[in-house]
Amino acid sequence: MIVYGEKFADLPRLSDHLRMEQQVALLAGGSAGLDVEAETFAPSRDEWTNDRRAIRRQRAVVLEGHRGQPAEPAITDG
């Protein structure tokens, strides 16, 4: 995810894969939900994607969060 603006310059830069993986793991510790941006896995300046592969990966993340276990297809960084 790309964060724009000087006030966000010190935020850690994480790949979408790592960010989603960490969020799913936090659910087991009591996190209330996931923050899956519309451009996750297909970064875009307008923060939106129509990339079907990216959308399938987004759905897999959400399913994994609901099930508490890896969804098929598993989250991959590629």
Token pair 């964060």 is at which residue? Answer: 3
Which has more pLDDT, 47 or 2? Answer: 47
Confidence (pTM): 0.74
**pLDDT (mean) for 9-14:** 82
**pLDDT (mean) for 15-37:** 91
Taking all residues of the chain, what is their mean pLDDT, rounded to a whole number?
84
The number of angstroms, rounded, from the C-alpha of 36 to the middle of its chain's C-alpha atoms is 5
pLDDT digits (tens, 9 = 90+) for 44-76: 888 899 999 999 999 999 999 988 755 445 556
Task: Round to whole Å and give the CA distance between 23 and 31.
Answer: 8
**pLDDT (mean) for 31-51:** 91
Q: What is the DSSP letter of 39?
A: T
